[in-house]
Chain A
Amino acid sequence: MSGHGLIEVKDLKKEFTLNTSGVASIKTALLWWRKRNAKKLNVLKGISFQVHPGECVAVVGKNGAGKSTLLSLLARVYKPTSGSIEIRGRMAPLLELGAGFHPDLTGLENIYFNGVILGLTREEMRARTDKIIEFSEIGDHINAPTRTYSSGMLARLGFSVAVHIDADILLVDEVLAVGDYEFERKCYAKIDEFRANGGTILFVSHQMDAVRKVADRCIWLKDGQIHRVGPPDFIIAEYEGRDLDLEEGR
């Protein structure tokens, strides 16, 4: 955690092709050839912003505003339709905890596997496994196949791997509520520690408390565009106020 993490997004656009046929096969492609109606869906319509080293930025907005698409683009799951993303430093996406776990392998084997996907070598993982197991509170179950784990255990193990790989940037998508109150507090403590060491965070949340607690700056996405940028208190007041207006208008 060196405080070098930097995200720079310039005029980012993402367009999806909506397909109504449903199944991907040659048969459907042939049958639907004349009826195909490939609709284009513009999810992100050109957004630009920067996240400076050591900063924590929250992205808020309604469902369908493009928040998760933005995070997926930053995590390089999608390729942008146009525009550019520049990322400096190692990035750990916490998009869905435990997504990379194979049910037939043990917790320990999965720790290695997950760490290597996130860009570490097995050597580096070996030095971290003890800390990861301790933080996750999995205990002796670490040698059992992960198919026997509860969803809480999976989430805890996933979070534990992601915060122990010494990333410069964390991408967080609504995952801080993993497990009980005790563990949640531990997660926040870990995030504070990460920030104190100069780590950069970009996160998406519907929980305004979490945004207020952690973020330095807030980006409000609306219909695929940046609606407002500013200090969290200011933006949240307006964001929640707008929701109130809508409800009053009904």
Chain B
Amino acid sequence: MIAELKELWRYRELLLVMVQRDLKIRYKNSALGFVWSFLNPLLTVGVMTFVYTNFIFKDQPNMGAYIMAAYLPFMFFQMCILDSAQSVLVAMPLIKKIYFPREILPLASIFSNFINLLLAFVIFFAYLLIRYFTNPVTFPIKATAVWLPVLLLITWALATGCSLIICALNTFYEDIKYIMGVLLYLLFFICPVLYFSEQVANSAINHSTNGLIYKIYNLNPIGYLCTAYKKILLDPITVTVRGSETAAADPMRWDYLGVAAVTSFAVLIFGYYTFNRLKWRFVERP
């Protein structure tokens, strides 16, 4: 594995050029290139915010920010897996002719999506500031936002590990990407993007199992990452517990984040190992 990493480092220039190429193609051919790639998340968040502020969470202020804080990293995770699943197959004519570390193909997709995620967070903070200037109450950017790079790193590790595994498998079994499409769609509802993890904690089913459901729920690394983004970037929410009582919001749980971090890096190492074991057989696929 160390030898593979050294080889990858030797080819870092190629990875850089691939990422540049990816971004260039994405933003080329259209003056609106940059806006274009954020139109989808912005529209989605816009519609969700409208529905959720008006019909579901009527007393939760700034619901759009809460949705966006979790939706952006989740979208990154999803796009990484779906993009990199195809990356080796698309480059098949190239890798049949010439050698370079094959992991560069999915990694290029992942890094260009990561740059997209960073730009998306710039838009997120811009949104917070614009809201603040139109209605100055409390300054919206919290001190705990310094933890954002840590969360981004963990999210990157998880996304990269999963992407490498899916990419290697999809190269041999081309229907994996359809299965992943469905699984990611379902995963979206299991993760607290459109709702809050406190609602899981205060649910009847969680109380009847003595909090077991909530514990299991938070073991999902991408799920707890969604919660963590909301907690470090935004104010704690006011929770309504069955009826009209209110309870304190659950604080940021570093132990669950630790579990998510360990899981993510384990997935990263396992994914890299799996990919390297399978990569020589890509060109010999049926």
**Which A residues are closer than 8 A to B by beta carbons?**
16-17, 19, 21-27, 29, 72, 75-79, 93, 95-96, 99-100, 102, 104-105, 109, 112-113, 116-119, 121-122
**Cα–Cα, bound, A79→B284 (Å):** 10
Contact A95 B98 (CB under 8 A): yes
Residues of B79-116 whose CB lies within 8 A of A: 93-100
Subset of 5 A-B contacts with CB under 8 Å: A23-B286, A72-B96, A75-B98, A99-B97, A100-B94
Given contacts A76-B99, A99-B97, contact A117 B14 (CB under 8 A): yes
Contact B173 A26 (CB under 8 A): yes
Residues of B4-63 whose CB lies within 8 A of A: 11, 13-14, 17, 21, 24-25, 28-29
**Chain B 171-192: CB-based contact to A (< 8 A → 1; otherwise 0):** 1111110010000000000000
Report which of A27, A93, A105, A116 forms a contact with B14, defined as CB distance below 8 A: A116
Report which of A25, A27, A113 forms a contact with B21, defined as CB distance below 8 A: A113
In the assembled complex, B242 has its CB within 8 A of some CB on chain A:
no
Q: How many residues in B have their beta carbons less than 8 Å from beta carbons of A?
A: 29
Contact A117 B175 (CB under 8 A): no
**Cα–Cα, bound, A109→B283 (Å):** 26
Chain A interface, DSSP helix/strand/loop, else mixed? loop
Report which of A16, A27, A95, A113 forms a contact with B97, defined as CB distance below 8 A: A95
Given contacts A78-B280, A102-B21, contact A25 B97 (CB under 8 A): no
**Cα–Cα, bound, A119→B7 (Å):** 11
**Chain B 272-286: CB-based contact to A (< 8 A → 1; otherwise 0):** 000000001001111
Contact A25 B98 (CB under 8 A): no
Which chain B residue lies CB-closest to A79? B280
**Cα–Cα, bound, A116→B284 (Å):** 25
Given contacts A77-B97, A99-B97, contact A27 B175 (CB under 8 A): yes
**Cα–Cα, bound, A207→B138 (Å):** 79
